[in-house]
Amino acid sequence: MRRVAVIGAGVIGLASALALRRCGHEVAVFEACRAGRGSSWAGAGILYPLLPWDYDETVNRWCRQGISRHVAWLEELRGVSGIDAEYRVSGMRVLDGWDADAAAWLRRHGEAYRRDGADLLLPGVAQVRNPRLVDALVSACQVASIALYEGLDRVSPLYGRCQVDGVQWAGGKWLSDAVVLCAGAWSATFGELSDLRVHPVRGQMLALRAPELPAEIVYQEGCYLVPRCDGVVLLGSTMELAGFDASTNERTASGLLAWAQRRHPGLSADRIIRHWAGLRPGSRLNRPVVGPHPEIDRLWLNTGHFRYGLTMAPACAEALAEWLTSSL
């Protein structure tokens, strides 16, 4: 058994911790805020790359691997935690999205699709209730005896001579044989990692009450509408380079609502429950960074997943844990 520290308690960090624990390691997770309250909580939970033909094969490969593992992974989490993450295959309608090249891409990759006038229908697209998934992961970590430290001031890797020796924070440290950095948009903020090309991309979202809407996800030119099974509807999401500013503004809320109203006129401002923003971990070509740091020994990376951390989580966590274990 080796000691492995994970920095970051989002879906990627918690999934990585569980995968490492299954490999037999003693694992602890360290978080500056509350577990799962960053981009993992803020997203819409769509388990699909939007849109896959717009991304390179690396992104799509990780997404396909993640999607193929989700059903079994979520069932395992439910069995351990008792929490239903509300996985369901709702399908997705891409408004005005019918395109011969997109259809050819889908045929090549064996994905089901249909044409409905000018729209493209993707019946296999699934979603998950991401806050519930976070709760399930936290509970599963507790059952697995993974220590979770939250609300830490100035948490960072503990650097030795060309290697990491554990994790440190104001008032404490935890020595380990390896450190896995899963800090999302904050991954490049640690001094020695300033060359890590991960940066925050703000996304603003709305939640509304609209129980009469159909179950399918609707997507158009970067905006999406995601109906949940309890009548809550999510509207999102912007792509803003605003640094680490997670504030919201009324102009964006009005724009998202106006887009949704063109599809569903019954949606109105008085149905809005909440308006929030999250900071996605953008990266070069939107590719995740998974594996050992090229220069700092015993430091491992699982970050930079952009919009698809939930989609890729089980695949990236499993690959990281197996790779790290084989190296120790």
Q: Which residue has the tokens 């080796």?
A: 2
Q: Quick: pLDDT tens for 116-132.
A: 999 999 999 999 999 99
pLDDT, tens digit (0-9, with 9 covering 90-100), for 159-210: 988 899 999 999 899 999 999 999 999 999 987 787 888 999 999 999 999 9
* Cβ-based neighbours of 75, under 8 Å, separated by 6 or more: none
Output the six-digit token pair for 110: 């064996």
- Torsions phi, psi for 277 (to 5 deg): -140, 150
What is the CA angle 138-234-205, rounded to 5? Answer: 85
Provide mean pLDDT across the span 139-161: 94
Contacts of 119 by beta carbon, 8 Å cutoff, 6+ apart: 93, 94, 95, 96, 97, 98
pLDDT given at position 192: 76
Mean pLDDT of 228-243: 94
Which of 208, 252, 249 shows the shortest CA–CA distance to 227? 208
pLDDT, position 274: 96
Q: Is the peptide bond before 51 cis (omega within 30 degrees of 0)?
A: yes
Helices 309-327 & 11-22 angle (0-180, nearest 10):
40
Residue 196: the pLDDT is: 86
- What is the per-residue pLDDT across 252-268, written as a single tens digit (0 to 9) for each? 999 999 999 999 998 99
State the Rg of the chain over Cα: 20
| 140 residue type, one letter | A
- Note the pLDDT tens digit of each residue in 81-108: 999 999 999 999 999 999 999 999 999 9
Q: How many other C-beta atoms lie within 10 A of the C-beta of residue 258?
A: 10
d(CA 244, CA 233): 26
In this structure, are strands 156-159 and 232-236 parallel, antiparallel, or unpaired? unpaired
The DSSP call for residue 109 is: T
Q: Which of 307, 311, 296 is nearest to 66 (CA)?
A: 311
State the Cα angle at 87 between 91 and 76, rounded to 5°: 140
State pTM to two decimals.
0.96
Q: Are 179 and 166 in contact (CB under 8 A)?
A: yes
Does position 134 have pLDDT exceeding 80, yes or no? yes
Q: To 10 degrees, the CA torsion angle through 308, 314, 317, 319? A: -100
Q: Is the distance from CB of 238 to CB of 44 less than 8 angstroms?
A: no
Q: What's residue 190's pLDDT?
A: 85
Reference 95, options 227, 216, 218; nearest CA is: 218
127, 47 in Cβ contact below 8 A?
Answer: yes
The rounded mean pLDDT for the chain is: 95
Domains delineated in the chain = 3-90+125-327 (3.50.50.60)
With pLDDT > 70 as the criterion, what percentage of the chain qualifies?
100
Calculate mean pLDDT across residues 285-308. Answer: 94
Q: Does the pLDDT at position 9 exceed 90?
A: yes
Q: What's residue 195's pLDDT?
A: 80
Q: Which two tokens stand for residue 309?
A: 């951390």
Return phi, psi of residue 252, to 5°. -65, -40
**Residue 5 DSSP SS3:** strand
Place of tokens 């060359």: 195
Query: Among 36, 225, 14, which Cα is nearest to 131's?
Result: 36
pLDDT at 242: 96
- Tell me the per-residue pLDDT of 31-81, one tens digit each, with 9 for 90 and over: 999 998 889 999 999 999 999 999 999 999 999 999 999 999 999 999 999
What percent of the chain clears pLDDT 90, i.e. is strictly above it? 88
CA distances from residue 230 to 134, 208, 234, 258 in whole angstroms, order as listed: 18, 11, 12, 23
